[in-house]
Structure formats: structure tokens, C-alpha cells
Amino acid sequence: MSQRLQSVVIVGGGTAGWLAAGIIAARHQGRMKSGFSVTLVESPTVPIIGVGEGTWPTLRSSLQKMGVSETEFFRHCNAAFKQGASFAKWTTGADDDAYYHPLMMPQGFTQVNLAPHWLCKGDGHSFCDAVTPQGQLCEAGLAPKMITTPEYDAVANYAYHLDAGKFAGFLQRHCTGKLGVRHVLADVTTVNQNEQGDIRSVGTQQAGEIAGDLFVDCTGFTALLLGKTLGVGFKECSDVLFCDAALALQVPYPTPDAPMASHTISTAQAAGWIWDIGLPTRRGTGYVYSTRHAGDDEAYETLMRYLGPEHRHLTPRKINIRSGHRTTFWKNNCVAVGLAAGFLEPLESSAIVLIELSAKLIAEQLPANREVMDIVAARFNEVSHYRWGRIIDFLKLHYVLTQRRDSAFWCDNVDPAGVPERLQNLLKLWKYQSPWFFDEFDRLEEVFPAASYQYVLYGMGFRTEALPQDNTGTAAAAARYMNDAALLSKQMRSQLPRNRELLNKIFEYGLQPI
């Protein structure tokens, strides 16, 4: 029990396995010489899912801490910039119905809540345009930095779009070549436990038995270790989030120099929504839908209407979605990361950020020995349950604010029976006061800050009762910050290059290393 934890064994590759391996190995490099090891066991025959192409800005920090060159990341992962997401036809379904959820915070966000002042102003500017320049940067197809901006630095906050298949291979090479991760290509045939129920080792067909002190389950939907071996159940949330299938396609550009969006485009449909992600060499698209509200043939026709008849020769790949998560994420000496922990529809690119946050927590809180592991596990489980719950709330927010009543899917989504109680209470509160730090958004493990809720709420036409006399004490500061946003927008639009232009320069010249 008191013997020092020295070996971490990750079972499963893909984005989850290799990102977890890199984050843990980078954090504990100093221990490698004294016997600490990170081993990743990956089947040579099981393909990865490979459709998680959107990320959050946290990935910049994760890659930087792993010692990854951002230039090489762009070059080898078919990566591009992401500055947020646009949501089209989510509110009314009209052709001009669209808003942005940018990645930049409102100006002066930690000092003044600009939402009440914007509500009182009523000058016709969208909330996003009034408080940040990033929506206009996306609208103009501009990049978030310049070629002279060093690696990982930003002019406007950004994340990435990437090719998930190439990303996993890139991480594998970095982890094994630079971070000392041991890579074992082998099929797991048995999971062996000790008398206390801990996993002692995994038996493999090609490499024999591989023992470890801590096992990280990255085996995807099968959850071989945590689910099948340790019997941890799965908590579905299909009563809240109805989308349970996706048709995914990779679409070529009409020309190599075609414009490329620097944000995810999400367009609502009769039974779900279509994602559209611009990578340098192609677009990643797909229709996420509810099979209770549309059959596969109907979903295919919806996707083809969006893409145009010239793409009918393409065959989409169907992915079944089981929305929900494990009832426990860390049991005994096994912790699940990635799809083994759970999955939610990719509306706000939460899959990779959950991998990052989980791996970071494991790396930072890595138990010294088995004696204290259950204490660390309890803390990990508490944080993880909170995160998953808040992401479910935030995804549902996009649906319950709709004014659409043109299909059963949208009508069913506004039924209070499918809205989490916490979200219902916050919506009542937000009728009278705008989302702010005190609405339980002050915890360190928040994925979506109060600003994200503001962007979605006011982008979708939600109204908070705002009285000018309630905000007189901060009126001057708010006016200054909103003026700063307008000036910054003008400045950035005159200085920043087009998205594809910057990516071409990165591929040719590279960014300046930090």
C-alpha cells in the first residue's frame, strides 16, 4: 500500500490515450530516471473514431507544456485556427438567424458585467459585437494572430481545428521520441485483478503480460477496464440530449485556395444540426441528429441539401452516439479518460477538452502510493461529475432557448421535463439578473465561464430585465470597455491576415519559437 506508484499503464490509443500519455509523462519527466514509467498499450487492429476535430484554447497550453512545436503541429495535423463557433438557424430558423460564441472574453470581463449595460443601450449591435472584436474577425475570415506572433501567443484567443487521425499519430511520435513513453502494439486478451479487486496487469496476445500501478482506460466506448472488468455502470442522458447518431463526411474544397472559416459553423436542422469545420485541405462536416425524429435516409438527404448535389457521390460514415457518462470515473486503481468515460454530442467541442482536463488532474494529483489513491479518486470523481453535469446543462441551453416550433424535435426540446433542474433555476434567475461569477461559475474546474452563457443567451434573443438605475455605478467603466471593443475590432481587422494566408505562411516559414 505504501510502495511508491511508479508505473502508469494506458490501455488504448487515439487522441485520448496519447494526449493522456503526453500530459502525464511531461508532468513527471523528472521521475523518469528513478524508474517512473508511462506505457501505452494499443491494438494494432482497432481503428480510432477520429471525428473529434474541434478543440478549446486549453489545448494550446497542453501542447506547450508537452514541448510540442506549434509549427510542427500545424504542419503534421492538417490543423487550422478556431476562434469560436457560429450558430445558424438555432433561434427562429430564418435565413438571417445566426450568432457567435467567440473564444475571447468580453472586454473588462473581470471588472464589469457588460451585459446589463448592453441590454439598456439597445443600439442594434449584437452582444458579441458590443463586447468583443472576435465575431467580426470570424465574419471577415481573419486569423487570430500574425506570422510574427510567437508560437502559442495570440492576438485574439484561439483553439484549433485538426485532423483527429493525424493528431493521434503526431502525439504518438512526440510522446515516444521526446517524453519517454513506452509504446506497445498489442491486443489485450485478459484483464487480471488481485484479491482486492485492483487491476494487476493486462494480458496481451503479442507482448505477454503488462503490469502497472495505475491503469488509464482509453479503450473507447467498450470501456474494457472500468466498465467491463470493474463493472462501473453508465448514466445515460438521452432524456436531456436527444441526438444519438451522426453522419460524418470529409468534403474537398472546390479549389486549393478557397476561403476557410476560422470558426466552427453549426447549422440547425429539423432533427438536429450540421457541423462544418474548415481544415487546410478539406472540410469536416456531419449531421448530428435524433433517430427518434428522423430516419437515416432523411438525415442523409438533409446533409446533402446542405452540401449541394455535387457531393452526392460521397458516402458518409454513421456514428452512433450514446449520450452520457460513467457513474464513477475512477475506481480502485483504474481511471477512465475519453470515450471510456463518456460522450456527449460535439456541439461545443467538449470531448478533447475533457480528455485534457482529466489527464491534467491525474498528472497533478497522481497519488504517491496505493494507500492514498482512493482519496485522490474521490476528489477526481467529484470534479468530474461536476464538469459533466455543467457541460450537459450548457449543451441543453442551446436547445431550450429556441423559438422554433417547426418540427417535433424542437418542440420536444423545450419541454421542461427534459431540462435539468439546475438549468431551469438559472434561467429563472437570468430573467432578472445577467449570468455572472456568482451563478456557480467561480469554481476552478468550470469548462464554460459565465461569458459563454452570456454569448448563447443573448445571441438567441433571451432578455434579462435590466434597469439603468441599477448599473449607474459601473456605467462609465462599461462605456469605456465597449468603446475599447469597438476600437480593438477596427485595429485588428486592419492588421490581421486572412485565415488561409497565415496558415500558408506557417507551412512555408513556421512561427517564431518561444
Assign 363 a pLDDT band (cuts: 50, 70, 90).
very high
Residue 470 has pLDDT above 80, yes or no: no
**Range 68-73, long-range pairs (CB < 8 A, 24+ positions):** 68/22, 68/174, 69/151, 69/513, 70/151, 70/152, 70/511, 71/151, 71/506, 71/510, 71/511, 71/513, 72/170, 73/160, 73/170
pLDDT digits (tens, 9 = 90+) for 107-155: 999 899 999 999 998 888 999 999 999 999 999 999 999 999 999 999 9
Give residues with Cβ within 8 angstroms of 276, minimum separation 6.
261, 264, 265, 266, 267, 283, 284, 285
Q: Residue 50: what pLDDT?
A: 60
pLDDT digits (tens, 9 = 90+) for 69-117: 999 999 999 999 999 999 999 999 999 999 999 999 999 998 999 999 9
Whether residue 82 lies in the annotated active site = yes
CA–CA distance, 495 with 357 (Å, rounded to integer): 34
Cβ atoms 48, 13 nearer than 8 A: yes
Q: Residue 172: what pLDDT?
A: 98
CA–CA distance, 267 with 347 (Å, rounded to integer): 10
Q: Residue 51: what pLDDT?
A: 57
Q: Residue 447: what pLDDT?
A: 82
Q: Residue 439: what pLDDT?
A: 66
Cβ-based burial of 446 (10 A; exposed 0-12, middle 13-18, buried ≥19): middle
Assign 440 a pLDDT band (cuts: 50, 70, 90).
low
Q: What percent of the chain has pLDDT over 90?
A: 92
pTM above 0.75, yes or no: yes
Residue 11 has pLDDT above 70, yes or no: yes
DSSP string of 415-464?
A: -GGGS-HHHHHHHHHHTTS---TTTT--STT-SS-HHHHHHHHHHTT---
Three-class SS of 205-242: CCCEEEECCEEEECCHHHCHHHHHHCCCCEEECCCCCC
Cβ atoms 107, 92 nearer than 8 A: no
Active-site residue, selected from the candidate residues 33, 65, 82, 396:
82
Average pLDDT over residues 355-362: 97
Q: Give the chain's domains with CATH numbers.
A: 7-53+163-233+323-389 (3.50.50.60), 244-320 (3.30.9.100)
pLDDT digits (tens, 9 = 90+) for 474-499: 999 999 999 999 999 999 999 999 99
